[in-house]
Amino acid sequence: MRNFKWGFSTLGCPANTLAESVALADEFDFRYLELRAVEDSIQLPRVFAAPEKRALLVKLAQEGRIRVFGSSFGLAAVENDREELEALGRLADEAGVLYLRVFGGFDFREEFREDKTETARRNLDWFRSLGLRSQLALETHDGFSSAARCRKLFEELGEALPVIWDAHHTCRFAGETFADSWAMLAGHVVDVHVKDSRIDADGKLVATVPGEGDLPVGELLELLEEADYTGLVTLEYEKLWHPYLPELRVALEAVNRLWR
C-alpha cells in the first residue's frame, strides 16, 4: 500500500451522517475525511449545531481524521458570503480542523488580471483579521485550475498559500502534465484530490467510477510516490453533483483494487 494518507470527500455520500461516513471509511481503510456535505447539507455549522454531533466532529478532528472543510468561497471573487466562511472558520477552530478549502471564484476562460489578485488579497486580509487558527487552502479549481496561475497569484501576493491540488483540473482543463503541475506546486500541496472522468461522444465531460475513465491516475500516484509525498490523497467522488454515479462504496472498492 502506498504511504499516502488516504481519505475521501463526503461529496461521495452526501446523505450520510458523520458517524455513517466514519463507519464507511473504516470499512474500506480510508482513515481521513474531507467534509463538504453531511446529512444532505453543505452548511456544516448548521449540521453540527447539535452538541452530540459537534462532539463527534471535535473528537475526529482531534484524532487527526478531519483536516479539511470544503467551502464555496471564491478567493478572487468580489461577491462572497463572508459570514458563511467565518462561521465555517469558527467551527474549524473549535474542532481543530487545519484548512478551509476555497475556490478561485471566476471562470478559467477569463483573463487573470491584477484586479483579481487585489481582490484575493483583500479577502485574505479580511479572513486573517478574524484571528482564527485555520488557514485558507486554495484548490486548483475554476479560475485557478492551472498550477501556473496559482504560481502567478503567489508571486503577485508575495506569499504562497496552502494548495489542494485537484490533479483532474490541472490536467483536464489546463492541459498541464502531472509532472509540470507538481513541479510548480510541490512545496505547497497539503492535499491531492483524485478522481476519474471521460469525454463522451458529444465532447461532454462525464464523471466515472475510478478506473472507468481515461485520466491516467496511476501515473499521478506513481509521481507522488517517487516524490516521497506522504500527505493527504483524497478521493473526490462527486455524487452530490453527479447523482448518476453509483454509490460511493463502488468507488472505494475500485480505489482499493486499482490504486492502492
Contact 239, 13 (CB under 8 A): yes
Would strands 189-194 and 32-35 be described as parallel, antiparallel, or unpaired?
A: unpaired
Q: Which domains does the chain have, with CATH numbers?
A: 5-258 (3.20.20.150)
Helix (H) or strand (E) holding 34: strand 32-35
Classify residue 72 as left (phi > 0), alpha (psi -120 to 50) or beta.
alpha
Assess contact for 169 and 195: CB atoms under 8 A: no
**Residue 82, all three cell numbers:** 463572508
The mean pLDDT of 108-126, rounded to a whole number, is 97
> How much is the average pLDDT of 116-141?
98
Q: For residues 149-164, b (16+ Cβ closer than 10 Å) or e, as one string?
A: bbbebbeeeeeebbbb
pLDDT, position 76 = 98
On average, the pLDDT of the chain sits at 97
| pLDDT tens per residue, range 82-103 | 999 999 999 999 999 999 999 9
| pLDDT confidence bin for 3, thresholds 50/70/90 | confident
Q: Tell me, what's the pLDDT at 22?
A: 98
Tens-place pLDDT, residues 143-157: 999 999 999 999 999
What number of residues does the chain have? 260
Closest by Cα among 165, 130, 143 to 75: 143
Q: Please check the confidence at residue 1 and state whether its pLDDT lies above 70.
A: no
Mean pLDDT of 65-71: 98
Cα 183 to Cα 10, 96, 173, 174, distances in angstroms: 29, 30, 18, 15
Report pLDDT digits (tens) over 38-51. 999 999 999 999 99
pLDDT (mean) for 29-42: 98
pLDDT digits (tens, 9 = 90+) for 223-245: 999 999 999 999 999 999 999 99
* pTM of full prediction above 0.85: yes
